[in-house]
């Protein structure tokens, strides 16, 4: 318990401090029992280290296993693939990481099948084994970022600072055009938007 309390306070401190890059923050957040390869790359089907996210804008796609639908994953997948068609485009300079929140005490064997099926649909990064995530991480996501059951998209800038606590709606409306997915960008996009029938009727 003391170890987890310390880990929680460390997370709070790290997210409130300025850093040169995002690695320290991400390593503290995505600690899977000190596994050196805690991420799974959905495009290569290989396990990778946190280093692949260094100095990138990182979108943390946080869900549980009960309130995430196949349709939502498919739409995100289309947006993600479109953004990757031209790697030189500014809008493609971000990484997506799925963090599934698995409740402590949940029978992992029952949830594992659904997790693996969803993970197989995702071309982005995901936590390799969410049952190994530190309890302090789950507590931080719930208490500080106020994750309940609805999927959320927390955006970290290249220095690991939270610039948007939930960019899900930005993704739905503007897709990769919402890059860099910050609250300031969202404000600017709404100011540019013409409030008319086209906004409501457009697909």
Q: What is the DSSP letter of 36?
A: S
Look at residue 188 in the predicted model and tell me its pLDDT: 87
pTM: 0.88
Contact 124/45 with Cβ under 8 angstroms? no
Q: Give mean pLDDT, residues 115-140.
A: 92
Could you read off the pLDDT of 22-39 as tens digits, one per residue? 999 999 999 877 788 999
| Separation in Å, CA 44 to CA 40, 114, 124, 159 | 9, 20, 9, 26
pLDDT category at 5 given cuts 50, 70, 90 is: very high
Judged against a pLDDT cut of 90, whether residue 173 lies above it is answered with no
Cβ 157 vs Cβ 163: under 8 Å: yes
Please tell me the predicted confidence (pLDDT) of residue 200.
67
Helix, strand or coil for residue 4? helix
- Pairing between β-strand 94-100 and β-strand 125-127 as defined by DSSP bridges: parallel
Reported as a pLDDT band with limits 50, 70 and 90, residue 157 is very high
The number of beta carbons lying within 10 Å of the beta carbon of residue 141 is 20
Distances 116 to 11, 36, 164 between C-alpha atoms, Å = 28, 21, 28
CATH for 2-200 is: 3.40.30.10
- Residue spans of the domains in the chain: they are 2-200
- Residue bearing the bigger pLDDT, 87 or 4: 4
**CA dist., res. 155 & res. 60, Å (int):** 6
Q: What is the pLDDT of residue 83?
A: 81
Proportion of the chain above pLDDT 90, given as a percent = 51
Q: Tokens 């698995």 — which residue?
A: 102
Over the stretch 40-86, which tens digit does the pLDDT of each residue have? 999 999 999 999 999 999 999 999 988 888 888 888 888 888 888 87
Predicted confidence at residue 22, as pLDDT, reads 94
pLDDT of residue 159: 94
């Amino acid at each position: 318990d003391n170890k987890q309390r310390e880990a929680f306070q460390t997370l709070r401190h790290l997210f409130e401090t300025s850093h040169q890059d995002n690695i320290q923050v991400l390593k503290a957040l995505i600690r899977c029992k000190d596994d050196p390869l805690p991420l799974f790359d959905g495009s290569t089907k290989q396990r990778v280290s946190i280093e692949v996210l260094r100095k990138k804008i990182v979108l943390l796609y946080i869900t549980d296993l009960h309130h995430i639908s196949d349709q939502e994953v498919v739409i995100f997948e289309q947006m993600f693939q479109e953004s990757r068609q031209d790697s030189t485009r500014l809008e493609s300079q971000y990484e997506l990481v799925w963090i599934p929140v698995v409740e402590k005490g949940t029978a992992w064997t029952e949830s594992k099948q659904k997790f693996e099926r969803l993970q197989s649909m995702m071309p982005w990064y995901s936590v390799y084994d969410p049952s190994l995530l530190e309890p302090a991480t789950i507590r931080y996501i719930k208490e500080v970022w106020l994750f309940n059951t609805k999927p959320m998209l927390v955006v970290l800038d290249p220095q690991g600072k939270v610039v948007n606590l939930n960019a899900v709606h930005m993704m739905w409306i503007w897709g990769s055009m919402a890059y860099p997915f910050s609250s300031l960008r969202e404000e600017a996009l709404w100011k540019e938007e013409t409030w008319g029938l086209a906004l409501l009727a457009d697909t």
